């Protein structure tokens, strides 16, 4: 007797749960740029051996175990022989850092370890080593969802990024929203607009004939509307990156991607 009523209760409870879930507004993840890419480009990304971005992942992999700097250390000495200790981490970036009192991107973390822990020279943002290392680290979190925190200490930086995203700028006086929120899936000249997410970066762009950072892409999208670009690694772009990754919540990391 007791057993059946318990089962009945569970069934009712489960039924109620399904009902609630069905009524709650579903937060659907946005689509990756991959979903709008032409099949040839998708195929290049699908196969790691044909994906040219892996030349840079290999550079990052090599750097990982290279001793550099006055402290005589390599990344591997502290983080383990392969990159697996980085699994899941990059998808939470940028994160608020208490010492800096602002956000840190993955690239900031790499340079922080290089200068403070290895006593080595910082890498330039768009150098092959930095792109390679960023790609190597991000690749450890491939096929896991982007998941950044935007509350607490991160909140003001998130708000700044959001404002940047929504502000009209440049000679053409457009905001990011005008292309990437209002018209995903629509052709602008020869290109199909996407949600403009950063889940695949660093990305191998056929147009660049090499891998490039998300902040490089920001510069391109700013200059196209005749707006002043910011520097790669600037606070403005790091805040913008946080906002973008919040938009990408739940979308899978697919670094290193291929785009046209």
Partner 1 sequence: MTYRIIVGALTGIVVSGALVTGTMAADYKIVDGTIPQSLTGKAGDPVQGKKTAVNRKKGNCLACHVMPIPEEQFHGEVGPDLGESGSNYSAAELRMRLVDPKVLNPDTIMPAFLVPGKTAVLKKFAGKTILSPQDVEDIVAYLTTLKGSYSK
Among 179, 211, 214, 258, binds partner 1 (CB under 8 A): 179
Contact between 218 and ligand HEC by CB under 6 A: the answer reads yes
Residue closer to partner 1 by CB (options 145, 170) is: 170
Chain residue whose CB lies nearest ligand HEC: 33
Q: Is 75 a catalytic residue?
A: no
Contact between 240 and ligand HEC by CB under 6 A: the answer reads yes
Kindly determine how many residues on this chain lie close enough to bind ligand HEC according to the rule CB under 6 A: 40
Contacts of 107 (CB under 8 A, 6+ apart): 125, 130, 134, 213, 233
Residue 173 binds which entry of ligand HEC, partner 1, none, with Cβ cut-offs from 5 to 8 Å by kind? partner 1
Q: Other CB atoms closer than 10 Å to residue 205's CB: what's the count? A: 18
Cα distance between residue 177 and residue 165, in whole Å: 7
92-99's contacts with Cβ under 8 Å and 24+ in sequence apart are 92/147, 92/148, 92/149, 93/148, 93/245, 94/148, 94/157, 94/238, 94/239, 94/241, 94/242, 94/245, 95/148, 95/149, 95/154, 96/149, 96/152, 96/153, 96/154, 96/157, 98/153
Catalytically annotated residues: 221
By the criterion CB under 6 A, which residues form the site for ligand HEC?
A: 33, 73, 75, 77-79, 89, 106, 109-110, 113-114, 117-118, 133, 137, 174, 176, 178-180, 188, 191, 193-194, 196-198, 200, 203, 214, 217-218, 221-222, 224-225, 240, 244, 259
By the criterion CB under 8 A, which residues form the site for partner 1?
A: 167-174, 178-179, 182-183, 186-190, 193, 222-223, 226-228
């Amino acid at each position: 007797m007791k057993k059946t009523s318990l089962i009945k209760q569970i069934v009712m409870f489960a039924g109620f749960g399904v009902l609630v879930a069905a009524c709650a507004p579903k937060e659907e993840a946005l689509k990756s740029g991959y979903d709008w890419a032409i099949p040839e480009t998708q195929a290049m990304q699908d196969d790691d051996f044909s994906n040219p971005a892996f030349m840079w992942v290999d550079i990052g992999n090599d750097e990982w175990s290279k001793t550099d700097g006055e402290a005589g250390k390599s990344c591997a000495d502290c983080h383990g022989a392969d990159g697996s200790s980085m699994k899941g981490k990059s998808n939470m970036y940028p994160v608020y850092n208490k010492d800096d009192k602002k956000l840190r991107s993955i690239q900031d973390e790499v340079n922080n370890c290089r200068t403070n822990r290895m006593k080595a020279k910082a890498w330039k943002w768009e150098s092959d080593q930095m792109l390679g290392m960023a790609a190597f680290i991000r690749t450890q979190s491939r096929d896991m969802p982007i998941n950044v925190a935007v509350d607490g200490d991160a909140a003001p930086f998130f708000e700044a990024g959001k404002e940047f995203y929504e502000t009209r700028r440049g000679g053409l006086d457009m905001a990011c929203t005008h292309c990437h929120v209002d018209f995903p899936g629509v052709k602008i000249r020869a290109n199909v607009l996407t949600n403009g997410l950063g889940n695949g970066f660093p990305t191998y762009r056929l147009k660049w004939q090499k891998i490039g950072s998300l902040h490089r892409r920001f510069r391109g999208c700013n200059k196209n509307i005749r707006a002043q670009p910011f520097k790669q690694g600037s606070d403005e772009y790091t805040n913008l990156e946080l906002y973008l990754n919040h938009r990408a919540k739940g979308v899978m990391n697919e670094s290193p991607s291929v785009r046209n």
